[in-house]
Chain A
Amino acid sequence: MKYLAISVTAVLTALFSGPAFADDETIAVFTKNQTNPYFQAVRVGTETAAKALGVKVIQYVPTKPDSIPEQLSQVEDVIVKKPNAIVFIPVDYKALVPAVEKINAAGIPVTNITDRSAGGNFVAFVGADDYSIGLSVARRLLKAIGGKGNVIILEGVKGSLTSTNRVRGFNDAMKENPDVKLLASQPANFQRLNALQVMENLMQSFPSIDGVLAANDPMAVGAIEALEGANRKALVIGINGSKEAVELIKSGKLLASGDFNGFIQGCIGTEIAVRNLHKQPTPKEVMLKPIVIDKTNFTPYEMPVEQRACPTLEQIVSN
């Protein structure tokens, strides 16, 4: 019984001693899940920017990865809490429109980053163009294989905006190279284990593969491991510019990764939200330039996101 009392006390203390709110401005940040390093980079970006701007950020992440009803519930709960502003990545760009409308109705200014919401009013949108990143990183690979050969595409979660646009970019790059043959285009749900197994299976059907276009870095990693396991060689590209991708580029296993920079999107999204609060002018839309990270330019990306400083809005816009 005493043990129970102790544990109950411990649980209660743990439960109810959450961070107290200071009186300064708070910004609620919504990301999709706790597992994908991309969203961690976004969160670090928002926190770095917040520290520099003297505001407080609170992170809201669904406990079940990418859960639509849960993100909607979290939005409803946050509206009760009334933060000064919201930085928002919708779990699904169409299904979360009612959530955005609720935020609008509550009069909380909201900045949309990464995935463009299909509806609702936003202070601004900050993102990178998945299509042009897909296009430029695929061009990089197709050039490296000499504009001819056999290629496989690993798609992300079916129907997700990110996957659809990146794959569209891949396909348009393929059209520019009529001598390149697309062997297969299969989804591996943005996950490395899925990508590994899909790739292993596809290698059975296709004895000669020259290139793999993966719609994110974890799938590129899975493909690389599958190729190594079968002792086969093919050039692989990914997208996101994650830490492990940069390591792999350095060691020559990955040809290139499209820079879909969550850190900068988090920084700029937060900066715009704060500027808007302070009645300073803000752009309606900020699109990061598509950058391909490869052997020639990976050095700045080696620095962990936690140690990076946020670029300012001016730096990004003037680029």
Chain B
Amino acid sequence: MNTAARTAVRSRFTLSRDVMQAFYRLLGVVLLCAILATLSDVFLTTNNILNVLRQSALLFLMASGLTLVILTAGLDLSIGANVALSACLAASVIKITGSPLLGMATGIGCGAVIGLANGILVTALRIPSFIATYGMMWMLTGVTYYYMAGETIHGFPPEFRQLGSGYLLGVPMPVYVMVLFLLIGGLFAQRTVWGQQIYAIGANPVTARLSGVPVERRLVLVYAVSGAMAGLASLIILARINSAQGDIGEDLTLPAIAAVLVGGTSLFGGSGTVAGTLIGALILTLVLNAMNLLQINSSWQPLVTGVIVLLAVWIDTRARRIGE
């Protein structure tokens, strides 16, 4: 059996185990919901469930691209700053041209170009991803501040805002976008050669290279995809709040990373799923939703989130141990 075949077998094994873990995690979400439902009688209403799904869409879109990066044992700390710059540029283009399509192309394009730059820093210049994207975060923030000069851009055409606040068959539009990218992301990661190569790179870059995986090119792809997803997320934010401000992406990076990790993707690469990330995003959103519904002092938020992150990952580690 050659190395590539062995890698493939190993990946399929990882996959089934990952799917089982995603299932367990889903059980965890159901349990969490059951507890919350007893605490608040509006929690389990259709409206609130749709509300939670819509809110988690934003986190999921950012976190799904990031999942691919983390699968390769990398990290992207620039996604929040990426969201801010992409949103501000897209907002300008929509305002100037009046064309939502051009604006959307700008947002996603800007995100992808930033991701590409990250990929080049990480591969061609061999800067560790943590530091490269940290430096990128500062540079993007600087450009955003300079460009916006403390102003806001406000008021977009209704057809663009449908993307964030519209409904189709009673379900909010962002939820469709989320499901669409869940399918695309899941299929790409699990069912395509490129996806499997990404897992292989994360599991062991040396073996992957030896078995013929173009490691550099896949890495650049992964960062570009993560950037493009940040660009897409920026459009959802724009459409939802109908305005852009320089601090729009602040405080979004760490929750996105937390969603990926709570979703069971390992920071060491090679194991995890996009579906798991959705569950991670749901858990984090549910907690904030419940705290608002129960009107708990917001000072508790970081503490509760911290404990939940620790608990989720600890249970995950235990389950993995037992699974082996």
Q: Which residues of A are in contact with B by a Cβ distance under 8 Å?
A: 33-37, 39-40, 43, 63, 65, 158, 184, 186-187, 191-193, 196-198, 200-205, 218, 221-222, 225, 228-229, 242-244, 247
CB distance from A121 to the nearest CB of B (A): 29
B295 within 8 A of A: yes
11 residue pairs of the A-B complex, CB under 8 angstroms, read A34-B150, A35-B145, A36-B247, A37-B152, A191-B247, A196-B240, A200-B55, A201-B51, A201-B293, A243-B152, A247-B155
A63 to B140, CA, bound (A): 12
Question: Which residues of A sit under 8 angstroms from B148, Cβ to Cβ?
Answer: 35
User: Is B298 positioned at the interface, with any CB of A under 8 Å from its CB?
Assistant: yes
Chain A residues lying within 8 Å of B293, measured Cβ to Cβ, are 201, 204-205
Interface residues of B in 247-272 (CB under 8 A from A): 247-248, 250
Q: Is B222 an interface residue (CB 8 A)?
A: no
Q: Are A33 and B247 in contact (CB under 8 A)?
A: yes
- Report the bound CA distance from A200 to B47 in whole Å: 10
Whether A198 lies near B292 (C-beta < 8 A) is yes
B145: which A residues are within 8 A, CB to CB? 34-35
Q: Does the CB pair B150–A225 fall under 8 Å?
A: no
Partner of B47, one of A186, A198, A204: A204
* Chain B 151-163 interface mask (CB, 8 Å, partner A; 1/0): 1101100000000
Given contacts A33-B247, A191-B247, A202-B292, 12 further A-B contacts (CB under 8 A): A35-B148, A36-B245, A37-B151, A40-B151, A65-B247, A186-B298, A192-B241, A201-B288, A225-B165, A229-B164, A229-B172, A244-B155
Given the contacts A33-B247, A34-B145, A204-B42, A193 and B241 also touching, CB distance less than 8 Å: yes
Q: Which of A200, A225, A229 has the most CB of B within 10 A?
A: A229
Instruction: Tell me whether A225 and B289 are in contact in the complex, defined as CB-CB below 8 angstroms, given that A40-B149, A247-B154 are known contacts.
Output: no
Per a CB cutoff under 8 Å, which of A35, A186, A187, A204 touches B245?
A35
The smallest C-beta distance from A246 to any residue of chain B, in angstroms, reads 10
Residues of chain B within 8 A of A184, CB atoms compared: 295
Residues A36 and B288 in contact in the complex (CB < 8 Å), given A193-B237, A196-B241: no
Interface residue SS majority, chain B: mixed
Chain B residues within 8 Å of A, Cβ to Cβ: 40, 42, 45, 47-48, 51, 54-55, 142, 145, 148-152, 154-155, 164-165, 172, 237, 240-243, 245-248, 250, 288-289, 292-293, 295, 298-299
Q: How far is the CB of B274 from chain A (nearest CB, A)?
A: 23
- A193: which of B51, B151, B248 is its contact (CB, 8 Å)? B248
For B301, give the chain A residue with the smallest CB separation. A187
Query: What B residues does A35 contact at CB under 8 A?
Result: 145, 148, 150, 245-247, 250
A196 to B237, CA, bound (A): 10
Cβ contact within 8 Å between B150 and A43: yes
Number of A-B contacts (CB under 8 A): 93
What is the minimal beta-carbon distance from B137 to any residue of chain A, in angstroms? 11
A205 vs B245: C-alpha distance when bound (angstroms): 29
Residue in B closest to A34 when the chains form the complex, CB atoms: B145
CA distance A233 to B166 in the complex (A): 16
For A217, the closest partner residue in chain B by CB is B152
Docked pose: A242 CA to B245 CA in angstroms: 13
Closest residue of B by beta carbon distance from A155:
B298
In Å, the complex CA distance between A229 and B239 comes to: 11
**When the two chains form their complex, are residues B243 and A187 in contact, meaning their CB atoms are under 8 A apart?**
no
Of A34, A196, A198, A244, which contacts B154 at CB under 8 A?
Answer: A244
Q: In the complex, what residue of chain B is closest to A198 when comparing beta carbons?
A: B292
Check if B151 sits within 8 Å of A201, measured CB to CB: no
Please name all residues of chain B whose beta carbon is closer than 8 Å to the beta carbon of A229 when the two chains form the complex. 164-165, 172, 240
Chain A residues positioned under 8 Å from B151 (CB to CB): 37, 40, 243
**CB neighbours of B242 from chain A (8 A):** 221, 225
Whether B295 contacts A40 by the Cβ 8 Å rule is no
Closest 4 A/B residue pairs (Cβ)? A40-B150, A201-B292, A35-B247, A229-B165
- Residues of B within 8 Å of A218, CB to CB, are 152, 243, 245
Assembly CA distance A200 to B242 (angstroms): 15
Tell me, in angstroms, the Cα distance from A244 to B241 when the chains sit together.
Answer: 12
In the bound assembly, the distance between CA atoms of A36 and B293 in angstroms comes to 28
- Shortest distance in angstroms between A167's beta carbon and chain B's nearest beta carbon? 13
Instruction: Please name all residues of chain A whose beta carbon is closer than 8 Å to the beta carbon of B237 when the two chains form the complex.
Output: 193
Contact B51 A200 (CB under 8 A): yes
- Distance of A244 Cα from B142 Cα, bound (Å): 24
Q: With A and B bound together, what is the CA distance between A33 and B144 in angstroms? A: 13
Q: Nearest-CB distance from A67 to chain B (Å)?
A: 12
A222 to B151, CA, bound (A): 16
In the complex, how many angstroms separate the beta carbon of A102 from the nearest chain B beta carbon? 27
Residue of B nearest to A40 (CB): B150
Q: Note all chain A residues with C-beta closer than 8 A to B150.
A: 34-37, 39-40, 43
Given contacts A40-B149, A65-B250, A221-B242, contact A204 B154 (CB under 8 A): no
The chain B residue with its CB closest to the CB of A218 is B245
Min CB distance B49 to A, Å, is 10
Known A-B contacts A186-B298, A201-B292; A221 and B247 likewise in contact (beta carbons under 8 Å): no
Which chain A positions have C-beta within 8 A of B288? 197, 201
Q: What is the bound-complex CA distance between A87 and B51, given in angstroms?
A: 45
Picked from B45, B142, B149, B250, the residue with its CB within 8 Å of the CB of A204 is B45
Q: What is the bound-complex CA distance between A228 and B243, given in angstroms?
A: 14
Which residues of chain A have C-beta atoms less than 8 A from B246's C-beta? Answer: 34-35
In the assembled complex, the CB of A111 is this many whole angstroms from the nearest CB of chain B, namely: 21
Q: How far is the CA of A299 from the CA of B191 in the complex (A)?
A: 60
Of B45, B54, B150, the most chain A CB neighbours within 10 A belong to: B150
CA–CA, A187 to B164, complex, Å? 23
Q: Is the CB of B298 within 8 A of A221?
A: no
**In the complex, A310→B254 CA distance in Å?**
42
Residues of B within 8 A of A158 (CB): 298-299
